[in-house]
Amino acid sequence: MDQDSTTPYSPANRLRPRSPNIQIYRPQLTSVLSIVNRISGVLLSVCALGLVIWLIAAAAGPQAYAVVREGIASWAGRAVLFVATFAFFMHLCGSLRHLIWDTVHGFSLRAIYLSGWIVFAASMVLTVAAWVTSAWIRR
């Protein structure tokens, strides 16, 4: 990373070695789930905005709601909603893992990897289950 040439030199902004060097670091389940929790959280923030738009459209009347509904029902809308569903379950299951960690349990390497795979598998299963149930209700 280049030092900003306009910034005057001071001990606070001098270049320091960084570790771990993320570009050459082999991803592990632990680090991947950590960043996925953050990314899914940011994605769900956008979904929260979508929730308010959806509510306002519902309050505005059938015509405004129909526009939002068409957007959701479109090919792109469904793709976004599917990713959002997976992000929701990853963040939900990940939060349960974090809440267990907050009680100072499950910190052995074995437990960390086991809970990590459980979070991933449960999120996959729940996402598919949600969409299958939805399709079954629609039928």
Partner 1 sequence: MNHGSVRKGAGNWLLERATAIALIPLTVWFVAALIAHTGSDYAALIAWLRKPFVAISMVLLLIALFWHTALGLGVVIKDYVHAINQRTVTLIAMRLVCFGLTAAGVVTVLGILFSG
User: Which residue lies nearer to partner 1 by CB, 18 or 138?
Assistant: 138
CA distance 115 to 33: 11
| C-alpha angle 15-18-22 in degrees, rounded to nearest 5 | 135
Cα–Cα dist 97/93, whole Å: 6
DSSP state letter for 61: -
**Dist CA 65 CA 49 (whole Å):** 16
In angstroms, rounded to a whole number, what is the distance separating the alpha carbons of residues 44 and 87?
7
Q: Out of 3, 31, 74, 95, which residue is the one contacting partner 1 (CB under 8 A)? A: 95
From 32, 51, 111, 125, residue interacting with partner 1 (rule: CB under 8 A): 51
Q: Determine, following the binding rule CB under 8 A, whether residue 59 of this chain makes contact with partner 1.
A: yes
Question: Is 79 an interacting residue with respect to partner 1 (CB under 8 A)?
Answer: no
Nearest CB to partner 1, comparing residues 45 and 74: 45
By the criterion CB under 8 A, which residues form the site for partner 1? Answer: 38, 41-42, 44-45, 48-49, 51-52, 55-56, 58-59, 62, 65-66, 85, 88, 92, 95-96, 98-99, 102, 130, 133-135, 137-138
